[in-house]
Structures are given as structure tokens and as C-alpha cells.
Structure 1
């Protein structure tokens, strides 16, 4: 099972996570970051972390999930596959670097290039507004979910 751990404030990351789950065709399980626990991650063969970048970092709720699960999983998930999707208004690389640094401690293995979705939201109003993503962007998330699920099911990852 591919655990799709996600957090969203304005809908972009939620839409991306849902698209990835659609692509995973029943092999992916959507789990909100605020309720994800160590047992959820232990039950998964691989992970897709989907979150917004807020003020140059991953969202606080995603960070809190890592804080809760980090030590219970330490030494128990080495070698498992992971990938990331970051929704951002400008860059996304700060959040991406944080996730990569944390999962290095778990010894996870990146199996897909990061998908960074830039909404170009730069004003307070645009940043806080609900997001609607274009179909081609959602298709990229769907393709990532499909590729991860297929790789896990076939034992490639």
C-alpha cells in the first residue's frame, strides 16, 4: 500500500493528493497528516508526502506528523520508497529540503523527482484564497501516484 500523507490549507495539496490516489488505482491510501500515526506508516510499503510550502517551509501540520512519527519509526522503515509533491506560491524548495532531511534519518529512498506545483500566489488575498489547479497539473500528480503504486506492486521499489 502507498500511504499518501497530506496536509492542505487552501485546497491545492488536497487536490494533488486526491489526484495521486486516483492514479494509484486503489493501491494508495489517503491519510491526513493530522491523523497519520506510526502504525499507518508502518503498514505502508511506500510514501507520498503532499503538503504546501508556508513561509519557506513545509506546513506545520506536516512537520507535526513527522515529529509524532519520527522516533517510533526510526530503524523500522529503512529502504522504503518515497516521493513528494509540494504546493507553493513561489519556490517550494525549502519545504522539499525539509522533507528530504527528515526522511534521511528514516533511510527512505527517493524514487521519483519532486513535483513542485507553483500557484504563483503572491498577495495575501491570493495566498489565502481557495486554489483550483489546472487539469494538466493534476494529471502530473495522478501519474506520480500511478507510477509509485505500480512500482510498489511490482516490487521495483
Structure 2
């Protein structure tokens, strides 16, 4: 059984809707053979990352940067998984009140240092909350889980 780890900070009802959509997509009935685990950045640690076949990261944009919770996750796991998870497929979604570029740059910089492999462009949900974000997040979850199941990455 392949494992998809979702590490997301969802501090508001709207960001929780986005996380729920990613989970719904990843757990689509058409996808078999992928175990989906969702954790907050405070719950996730090196063991969860090592066990994952792919990771989806989710964060809010906070002052032009990733959430402190996601930064804490990276601070606690980076060196513990650095040598063991090179090439780990990952995807990213950002709930950005502004443009999300600083947040994207920060996460991509850390992922590059870990030598993780982005499997698609980051999904940046910009501006005021839009219900279209929900469908985009669901599609992200489905695509990553289906790619993991099919062995594409």
C-alpha cells in the first residue's frame, strides 16, 4: 500500500474547507491502493515523512511567508529526513490573501534543499475566498493520489 501524507495548516473554516477538499480528492473512490494520512504540521514528524510515498503540503500565507506551523514542521524534520527522502514527490497548496509568491518561494527553497521533487505547479488560492478554490484543491488531491497509485512518481 502506497502512502500519501498531507501536512496542512488550516486555522480557519475556509482553509479547513480547502484541506477537506484535498482529502476528498485524495480519497476518491476511483483511487485504490493509496493510504491517505492527514496531519497538522505540529503532529507530523520524521517518521511520517519517511513512511510517505508522496506529500502534499498546505499552508496559509502569513506576512508573505509560510505559516509558523509549517515552518515548525520543517524545522523539526529537515535534518532527520534529509538523506532518506531525496526525490520524494510533493505538491503544495497555499491560501494567500495577497499573491503567495513569498510563501511559494520559501517552501520551494526548503523542498529544494531536501531534494524533494515537485510533481506539479503549486496551487495558489489568491485573494478573497472563492468557492472555486475548493474544486481546485480537490483536483490537486486526486491528481497526486492517482499519480502515486499509478507509479508515475
**Kept after mapping to 2: 8 A contact 1:12/1:133:** no
Matched, 1:16 2:12: no
Cα offset, 1:16, TM superposition: 1.5
- What is the TM-score normalised by the length of structure 2? 0.89
Per the alignment, residue 148 of structure 1 pairs with 144
**Kept after mapping to 2: 8 A contact 1:18/1:30:** no
Task: Give, in whole Å, the separation in 2 of the partners of 1:77 and 1:12.
Answer: 31
Per the alignment, residue 42 of structure 2 pairs with 34
Gaps of 5+ in 1: 121-131
**Kept after mapping to 1: 8 A contact 2:10/2:19:** no
**Kept after mapping to 2: 8 A contact 1:7/1:62:** yes
4+ residue runs over 4 A deviation:
none
Gaps of 5+ in 2: 29-33
1:40-96 Cα shifts (integer Å, max 9, x gaps): 111110111001000000011110000000010011111111110000111111111
- What is the TM-score normalised by the length of structure 1? 0.87
1:8-45 Cα shifts (integer Å, max 9, x gaps): 22233322122111101163221111111110111110
**Kept after mapping to 2: 8 A contact 1:6/1:13:** no
Pairwise CA RMSD = 1.4
Cα offset, 1:133, TM superposition: 4.7
Task: Describe the SS at the equivalent of 1:5.
Answer: strand
1:104-143 Cα shifts (integer Å, max 9, x gaps): 11111001111111233xxxxxxxxxxx651x21111111
Per the alignment, residue 77 of structure 1 pairs with 85
Alignment length, in residue pairs? 145
